[in-house]
Amino acid sequence: MTSTPPRLPKTPLLDRIAGPEDFRGFSIEDLVRLAEEVRQTMIHSVSQTGGHLASGLGVVELTVALHAVFDTPRDRLLWDVGHQAYPHKILTGRATRMLGLRQGGGISGFTRRAESEYDPFGAGHSSTSISAALGMAVGRDLKGGKNNVIAVIGDGAMSAGQAYEAMNNAGAQGSRLIVILNDNDMSIAPPVGAMSSYLSRLMSSPKYHSIRHLAKDLAHLLPPPLERAAKRAEEYARGMVTGGGTLFEELGFFYVGPVDGHSFENLLPVLRNVRDSDSNTPVLIHVVTKKGKGYAPAEAAADRYHGVGRFDVVTGQFDKPPVNAPSYTSVFAKALLAEAEADDRVVAVTAAMPAGTGLDRFGARFPGRCFDVGIAEQHAVTFAAGLACEGLKPFCAIYSTFLQRGYDQLQHDVALQHLPVRFAIDRAGLVGADGATHAGAYDLTLLGCQPDIVIMCPSDEAELMHAVATAAAIDDRPSAFRYPRGEGVGIELPDRGSVLPIGKGRLVREGQRVAILSIGTRMVEVLKAADTLAAMGLSPTVADARFMKPLDEELVLRLAREHEVLVTIEENAIGGFGAHVLTLLAQHGALDKGLKVRPMILPDVFIEHDNQWNQYEAAGLNAGGVVATVLGALNDPRYQLPA
């Protein structure tokens, strides 16, 4: 029997919709039905493709309401982070493509300008929406435009400093801007009741604005002490009825909320009032939603269903493909726990990713020594620097793609001061379905130019344990080690890693004519390539550099001296390991006598989402690419690929 291809549930209302203009005249009852169809489409599509689930489920009604009230795409609608935007994609002509979500050739898991005119700004990293929206609003004003610009931010993104930098600027700029704060864990305000919903509608109405401006004008006529008292009274009254808008008011925003984000009766009047206002004061609408809304398993465990693989819609059970080896992330967690058991100075820092980095296990064992600082990579790095100043041994665990956001702090606050912060860089290399926004393609380039930093790239999970132990032992300068997403190779692990000699690689196989110098976890593919070459009668030397910095100069120069061809291979863009090797060879004259060097790196493009194998195949960094590179450099007719 052939398996039935996955199909989306029946959606009679959604099937009639080509874009938001088709439901702007819907009644509230029809909008409720439409929201339910969007929710079911999202659940069923993500169950087949994997992706971000709970966040999008929480904003279904909000998404429908925004597109129903505003004239998108003329009105610009920006979604922070992007993983809240699946309902937005479904409503803007991409419903039938949802089964290709995050798949090779399919639509992105994030908003993307090249994908749709309804995506005015790409988002994979958090907390950028207000900055971009303000830029668009000012650009509109300079061109004499009248359209609205709306930024939806939430799901933790308000913990990042950039959001407040943007709000501070927006409050002073005086451009018309609407910010929707999606508060999906009730971290800012209490649950919404009938009175607060009524007050939100009242405060967003033109009548309230007129009364408020009249009150301000009258206050200006009073003597200064009474004017100040009148202003304080109004601020106090607004704080009492709204549940906490004082911070946003101080930043220059007109605060409305909280509003029930699942009630069209509450959402639609507020959004229309704000849309129709002629005020140039930026507005923040505080909307309270429930993450995972409408799907019981996600409501019960929103964190577990934040990002998911394939799952059974009926039971909520995740598909569990057979695991041949532990993930690199879990091996890091094991190694760090071993170091922390032996040394109470070991502490851990993460930026809102305790589970993603494996530090949830560390936090459970050592709660007083584990620090989640929120989506604030800049702060995380400098905070770790402060810990190091006090003699502690901080491990700062951040994904490669997010560490980019703390690069200034890494250089200025850590490297310049020679502080022994240890950077555990997860998701190095290509990451599969998350695509270019999350690829760890640049950290070796960025870190490699920093003076006096130790950079390690383990080739397997045992080597990762040794790298953690080595970093723990380095107490006079910063260090970093990188490791990829996914499983290891399945080799036996020690209880605790061993400290490696700094800057020393290792020979894996001795051969002749060709040397392949690998750094990182491409070693598995290198060894496959070496087996293929050996079957042709050409047995290459294979070496594991282990360290990018300091480079094992003795090993590199020996390989150059004793071989005709030297191939370097790394999971990084241009300017990384291969560039350091070439610089060393040039400085020592090793290129002067005909040595052929072929650096194998990630191509100089942003690699789109797909599975990791296909991504590396396209990049030429799988075994076949290594073989082809060796044979091309050697250019010996005796060694040919089989026809």
Q: Using DSSP, state whether 308 is helix, strand or coil.
A: strand
506-634 maps to CATH 3.40.50.920? yes
Nearest to 359 by CA among 332, 338, 321: 332
370-372 vs 346-350, strand pairing mode: parallel
pLDDT at residue 198, as a whole number:
47
CA pair distance 621, 602, nearest whole angstrom: 8
Is residue 184 annotated as involved in ligand binding? yes
Measured at the CA of 418, the angle between CA 414 and CA 423, to 5 degrees, comes to 50
Is residue 236 annotated as involved in ligand binding? no
Nearest to 621 by CA among 555, 576, 591, 580: 576
CA pair distance 576, 591, nearest whole angstrom: 19
pLDDT at residue 208, as a whole number:
53
CA pair distance 245, 236, nearest whole angstrom: 10
Q: Using DSSP, state whether 180 is helix, strand or coil.
A: strand
Measured at the CA of 126, the angle between CA 125 and CA 132, to 5 degrees, comes to 95
Token readout for 90 is 């479904």
Residues of the chain with pLDDT under 70: 1-8, 155, 185-245, 642-643
Is residue 83 annotated as involved in ligand binding? yes
pLDDT at residue 236, as a whole number:
44
CA pair distance 479, 465, nearest whole angstrom: 15
Q: Using DSSP, state whether 462 is helix, strand or coil.
A: helix
Q: What is the largest CA-CA distance in the chain?
A: 98
pLDDT at residue 247, as a whole number:
81
Token readout for 290 is 């429930």
pLDDT at residue 178, as a whole number:
96
Is residue 609 annotated as involved in ligand binding? no
Q: What CATH number was assigned to the domain covering residues 328-482?
A: 3.40.50.970
Q: Which helix (H) or strand (E) holds 348?
A: strand 346-350
- Establish whether domains 328-482 and 506-634 are of one fold: yes
CA pair distance 187, 195, nearest whole angstrom: 20
Is residue 168 annotated as involved in ligand binding? no
Is residue 156 annotated as involved in ligand binding? yes
Total count of residues recorded for the chain: 643
Measured at the CA of 468, the angle between CA 492 and CA 433, to 5 degrees, comes to 80
Token readout for 47 is 């169950």
Residue type, 381: V
pLDDT at residue 416, as a whole number:
96
Q: Using DSSP, state whether 398 is helix, strand or coil.
A: strand
Kindly give the residue spans of alpha helices, DSSP state H, lying in 411-519: 443-448, 461-473
Sequence-separated (6 or more) residues with CB below 8 Å from residue 443: 400, 403, 404, 425, 428, 480, 482, 572
Is residue 292 annotated as involved in ligand binding? no
360-370, pLDDT tens digit by residue?
999 999 999 99
Is residue 379 annotated as involved in ligand binding? no
What DSSP string describes 111-122? B-TTT-TT--S-
254-260 vs 178-183, strand pairing mode: unpaired
- Hunting for tokens 């490699």 — which residue is that? 448
pTM of the predicted model as reported, rounded to 2 decimal places: 0.86
**Class of the CATH domain delimited by 14-308:** alpha beta
CA pair distance 447, 348, nearest whole angstrom: 20
CA pair distance 640, 586, nearest whole angstrom: 30
Q: Which helix (H) or strand (E) holds 506?
A: strand 506-509
CA pair distance 453, 414, nearest whole angstrom: 10
Residues catalogued as catalytic: 291, 377, 405
Per-domain boundaries in the chain: 14-308, 328-482, 506-634
CA pair distance 254, 246, nearest whole angstrom: 10
Rg for the chain (alpha carbons), in Å?
A: 28
